[in-house]
Amino acid sequence: METIDPPASVLCREVRDRRGRVYRVGESDVELLGRGRIWMVVLPWVGMAGISGAAYAFVAAQAGLRAAHQWGGDLYWPAGLWALAQAAVAVPAGRLRESGRLPARTAMTTGALGTLAGYLALALAPGLGPARLAFALCAGAGAGLVHATCLTLPGRWWPERRGGPTGLVASGLAVGAVPFLLRPVADAEPRVLLAAAGVAGSLAVAGAGRLFRDPPRNWWPPRPDPLSVPPDPVARRARDKNPPAVRHLTLQQAAPSPVLWLMWLCLLGAAGVTVLGLVLQVRYAQQLDINPESVWPAAVAGGAAAAVAGALSDRSGRRTALIAACLLLGAAQFGVLIAARTGSGVTLLGCTAATATAGVTALALVTALAADHFGENHHASVHGLLIGAWLLPVAAGCGTDAAGYAARHPHAASLLAGCTGLACAALALFLKAPGRLSVRRIVPNPHPLGEEMA
């Protein structure tokens, strides 16, 4: 991982808390970066929006490719392989990032090149088979590198309140779809659209990645002091609700902890409900004589709202916010059934926005929770394991007939999705940091010092 070597004039020291965790204090973000650390939120957001925009271009162009170029068969299964390629590179990329062999700038540049190669192949290759394979593998691996780098970087620069920065970066997943809501863009010639999206997305990713930097290991901002109670009430509440990890755990050390796998299951369920819910909401829009294209602006607006939810988690606590997001996700699926029964299009669009908000928020909060529970030094590989849970439902929905089966049985699928969302909220109740002693478990000494001396 490429970290910054501070100038000789910058004084820093390492301090330990009562549990032995090391904090490196004394260096400000401006001294390390030459600019404010807010850039390590804005630039990853640009990279995330760029790579997600390229993904939405494939969805917008696949129907035109089939009709205009006589490409038979289903073009969605390459999207499933694309998602699997992302999951496959996440953990190895995280290990390389932690070891320093894959700096953030190199990861972003490699991801941009993979995206460019995949989309140009899909746009220009004469044969369907090679085009599908090149897109799925090259663009998928490139997107995996970009996602793993962009989502984990803000938490390292904002260790004292990482919820808001991580939520803002995750909202780039939805913002990347904005250009494709415009009719001239969506109706463009499909191969031109894919080539343009690949070039634009790769330029955005590579340009933002040129300025990426990782902080030194164990870095903590000068304020608030990690060893004392912050005087600022906002900072004190954020520390109380989201205490830092007891120690930094590698993926091998974190794997035996049940908390890691509960996070994995919670994210798997949230992703599955989000993907299934959006598919069903398009189906219900057709039944209610609503233009299905009106569903996507509501979903994009909802996904962008994850930035606000992430910031609120810094005050309310990330576990509490995750429970609320999963409850909202499950309730939205039951709301869809009410909208179908009453014929209310407004209710349906509101449930769509809630589904997108809760789904993207769950991704951001689980990413931030992983750093809160297992530390920042090895967050990349831990996140690589967790992101696989987010991508598996995408792969299953694109590469199998699961989405078609759900569309044929929408009521049963909506009930299943709603119950799954509530189950995810129940799982989130047990997400407690390993090694942190709960106040309720502290038992008073049955033989106080005074009695023993007496």
Helices (H) and strands (E) in the chain, counts: 20, 2
Neighbours of 442 (CB within 10 A): 7
Contact 137, 150 (CB under 8 A): no
324 to 349, 421, 429, 432: CA distances (angstroms): 20, 10, 11, 16
Report the C-alpha gap between 72 and 80 in whole angstroms.
17
Residue 127 has pLDDT above 80, yes or no: no
Residue 421 has pLDDT above 90, yes or no: yes
Give residue-wise pLDDT tens across range 37-54: 999 999 999 999 999 988
Q: How confident is the model at residue 158 (pLDDT cuts 50, 70, 90)?
A: very high
Q: Which CATH superfamily is domain 28-223 in?
A: MFS general substrate transporter like domains (1.20.1250.20)
Q: DSSP secondary structure string, 279-328?
A: HHHHHHHHHTT--GGGHHHHHHHHHHTHHHHHHHHHHH-HHHHHHHHHHH
Instruction: Name the average pLDDT for the chain.
Output: 85
Mean pLDDT of 164-174: 92
Residues contacting 409, CB < 8 A, separation 6+: none
Residue with tokens 């219900």: 284
Poorest-confidence range of 97-111, 247-261, 281-295, 336-350?
281-295
Residue 382 has pLDDT above 90, yes or no: yes
Residue 454 has pLDDT above 50, yes or no: no
What's the pLDDT at 112? Answer: 95
Q: 316 or 327, which is more confident?
A: 327
Neighbours of 81 (CB within 10 A): 18
Give residue-wise pLDDT tens across range 205-233: 999 999 999 999 889 988 888 888 878 78
Token duo for residue 93: 């990329």
What's the pLDDT at 304? Answer: 86
Mean pLDDT of 30-38: 90
Contact 122, 131 (CB under 8 A): yes
Mean pLDDT of 237-264: 90
Q: 8 or 273, which is more confident?
A: 273
Mean pLDDT of 382-400: 85
- E strands present in 8-87: 13-16, 22-25
Q: 94 or 293, which is more confident?
A: 94
Give residue-wise pLDDT tens across range 73-124: 556 677 788 889 999 999 999 999 888 888 999 999 999 999 999 888 888 7
What's the pLDDT at 160? Answer: 87
What's the pLDDT at 191? Answer: 82
Q: 449 or 114, which is more confident?
A: 114
Residues contacting 296, CB < 8 A, separation 6+: 177, 181
What's the pLDDT at 239? Answer: 81
What's the pLDDT at 166? Answer: 94
What's the pLDDT at 373? Answer: 93
What's the pLDDT at 446? Answer: 53
Q: How confident is the model at residue 439 (pLDDT cuts 50, 70, 90)?
A: very low
Could you give the angle at which helices 258-287 and 410-428 cross, rounded to 10 degrees? 150
Contact 275, 129 (CB under 8 A): no
Neighbours of 261 (CB within 10 A): 16
Give residue-wise pLDDT tens across range 172-202: 988 888 888 887 887 788 888 888 999 999 9
What's the pLDDT at 385? Answer: 93
Residue 318 has pLDDT above 80, yes or no: yes
Phi, psi of 271 (to 5 degrees): -65, -40
Report the C-alpha gap between 80 and 74 in whole angstroms.
11
Residue 345 has pLDDT above 80, yes or no: yes
Q: How confident is the model at residue 442 (pLDDT cuts 50, 70, 90)?
A: very low
Contact 379, 166 (CB under 8 A): no
Cα-trace Rg, the chain: 23
CATH domain 244-434 topology: Growth Hormone; Chain: A; (1.20.1250)
The residue ranges of every structural domain in the chain are 28-223, 244-434
What's the pLDDT at 108? Answer: 95
Q: 79 or 348, which is more confident?
A: 348
Q: Which of 189-198, 291-300, 324-333 has the highest mean pLDDT?
A: 324-333
Mean pLDDT of 64-71: 60
Q: 136 or 361, which is more confident?
A: 361
Domains 28-223 and 244-434 share a fold: yes
